[in-house]
Amino acid sequence: MKQIFSEILMETKGQGLYNFTDKTLNWLKKQKIKDGILNINILHTSASLVIQENADPDVLFDLKNFFNKLVPMNNDLYKHTTEGKDDMPAHIKSALTNNQLTLSIKNKKLMLGNWQGLYLFEHRIEKHTRVLSHHLLGN
Amino acid sequence: MKQIFSEILMETKGQGLYNFTDKTLNWLKKQKIKDGILNINILHTSASLVIQENADPDVLFDLKNFFNKLVPMNNDLYKHTTEGKDDMPAHIKSALTNNQLTLSIKNKKLMLGNWQGLYLFEHRIEKHTRVLSHHLLGN
Amino acid sequence: MKQIFSEILMETKGQGLYNFTDKTLNWLKKQKIKDGILNINILHTSASLVIQENADPDVLFDLKNFFNKLVPMNNDLYKHTTEGKDDMPAHIKSALTNNQLTLSIKNKKLMLGNWQGLYLFEHRIEKHTRVLSHHLLGN
């Protein structure tokens, strides 16, 4: 059994969903593991990870919009307000989605459905550099 | 270390939670792995996976009902409406729950609590065939 | 490849987020695995797991408060009411967050961001003993 650790960086420019499927696939191609598990963790608590439809950009707009209505950026609602009106909502949205994805690799291919893509869901309004740890374990 | 890949199909007939614990257990029994990790992925973005109470069917009704109220099937709320009034809400409900479950297998047993069952959460109103990839890695 | 199974117990005293990062780190130190995957499952359906900010306790208050407003403890809203006004909301909150965390271990260190901590999110109002299964697989 082999294990490979790496980090993929994503630059975000405000709230929204950022597709990183190709970055992960390009990284995977270079690794000498045929079958295994790929554990992806986002090392932040104000951005998160989701698997979502990769076809219609309106889906991404609606997702961002839904979460902004569900978790309003309104300081009157929260005690934790010192880091900006978007910070506490970001933590809540992170709890409602995922910090991590555990994916299966078979024959060097990522097992995803045809319409599935990997997305970083940025919840902060300013730009950020986000670290996605990639840990591949297999043969 | 061995790895086994398989797919379990589930037929759904509209919105609700479908217990697939026995299907997974029956499949597990036939595999020659004693201890390991079972990674289950649903290869769709309009149905999802949850671990929930396996005792009172009212719990399943209340879950379906809560999510339908939280994410209304109302086209006025969304830009992505071409695939039906239930499609965008399905993507959102999928983001709010899980695309994947990573479970531990010890001594050929699935480590679940007494009251825990594995459920496919179907968010579409028409019937569908859903693919659950099962990837077992262990000794 | 080695595998180690263990259980960590957490005593909870009502709703809120309980940090168990140090318990997991202390357990990890004693294990003879350098690199691998740590799969943590909570064996209950009325408490859950989240990775959240470990700095400002107001974040934990706001999280508890947000989920209580989103999923009210009001028996009129649910069919499943026999186990108390907090039980059905607990199942829903569990579905909205996570039953399990899959973490990467590199060089005996848990790969978490600086501001990330592991939390048990208790959704019941009475005190409980919660079982967190820890399954470590690696070299």
The pLDDT tens digits of the residues spanning B57-75 come to 999 999 999 999 999 999 9
- Per-residue pLDDT of chain C (139 residues), as tens digits, is 999 999 999 999 999 999 999 999 999 999 999 999 999 999 999 999 999 999 999 999 999 999 999 999 999 999 999 999 999 999 999 999 999 999 999 999 999 999 999 999 999 999 999 999 999 999 9
Any A CB within 8 A of B137 CB: yes
Instruction: Judge: B58–C79 Cβ closer than 8 Å, yes or no.
Output: yes
Structure tokens at B8: 């379990």
B109 CB within 8 Å of a chain C CB: no
Angle at C115 between CA C5 and CA C108, to 5 degrees: 35
Rounded CA Rg of chain C: 16
- The mean pLDDT of chain A is 97
**Cβ-based contacts of B102 with chain C (< 8 Å):** 39, 100, 102
Work out the average pLDDT over B30-56.
Answer: 97
Distance CA A49, CA A41 (A): 8
Summarize pLDDT for A79-133 with one digit per residue, the tens: 999 999 999 999 999 999 999 999 999 999 999 999 999 999 999 999 999 999 9
Tokens (6 digits) for A31: 């690794």
The residue of chain A nearest to residue B37, with distances taken between CA atoms, is A37
Chain C residue at shortest CA distance from B67: C92
**What does the block give as tokens for C57?**
């306790």
User: pLDDT (tens digit, 9 = 90+) per residue, A37-50?
Assistant: 999 999 999 999 99
Chain B residues touching C71 at Cβ < 8 A: 66
Asked whether the beta carbons of residue C99 and residue B66 sit closer than 8 angstroms, the reply is no
| B56: contact with C, CB 8 A cutoff | yes
The mean pLDDT value for B105-131 works out to 97
- Tell me the average pLDDT across B82-100: 97
Among the listed residues A37, C132, C1, C37, the one whose alpha carbon sits nearest the alpha carbon of residue B136: A37
Task: Give 3-state DSSP helix, strand, coil % of chain C, rounded to 5.
Answer: 25, 40, 30
Residue A19 forms contact with B (CB below 8 Å): no
A37 neighbourhood in chain C, CB within 8 Å: 37
d(CA C96, CA C93): 5
- Using the Cβ of A11 and the Cβ atoms of chain B, whether some distance falls under 8 Å is answered with no
**Nearest residue on chain B to C80, judged by CA atoms?**
B58
What angle is formed at CA B22 by the lines to CA B20 and CA B28, rounded to 5 degrees?
105
Residues A45, C37: C-beta atoms closer than 8 Å: no
What number is the ipTM of this complex? 0.97
Over range B35-62, report the average pLDDT: 97
Q: What percent of chain B has pLDDT over 90?
A: 100
pLDDT at C74: 97
Q: Mean of the per-residue pLDDT values for chain B?
A: 97
- Find the Cα–Cα–Cα–Cα dihedral B93, B95, B96, B99, rounded to 10°: 100
Tell if the pTM clears 0.80, that is, is over it.
yes
Residues of C whose CB is below 8 A from A82: 56
The C-alpha of A94 sits at a distance from chain B's nearest C-alpha, in angstroms, of: 10
Cite the DSSP H helix spans in chain B.
21-29, 57-70, 87-96
Q: Does A101 touch chain B (CB under 8 A)?
A: yes
Distances, alpha carbon A59 to alpha carbons A101, A115, C2, in Å: 20, 12, 43
Closest CA to C77 of B119, A133, B67: B67
CB proximity C2 to A under 8 Å: no
Nearest to B25 by CA among B101, B99, B117: B117
Kindly determine whether residue C102 and residue B102, on different chains, have CB atoms separated by under 8 Å. Answer: yes
Contact state of B116 with C44 under an 8 Å Cβ cutoff: yes
Q: Contacts of residue A139 in chain C, CB cutoff 8 Å?
A: none
**CA dihedral defined by A55, B119, C70, A87, rounded to 10 degrees?**
-50
Q: What is the pLDDT of residue C68?
A: 98
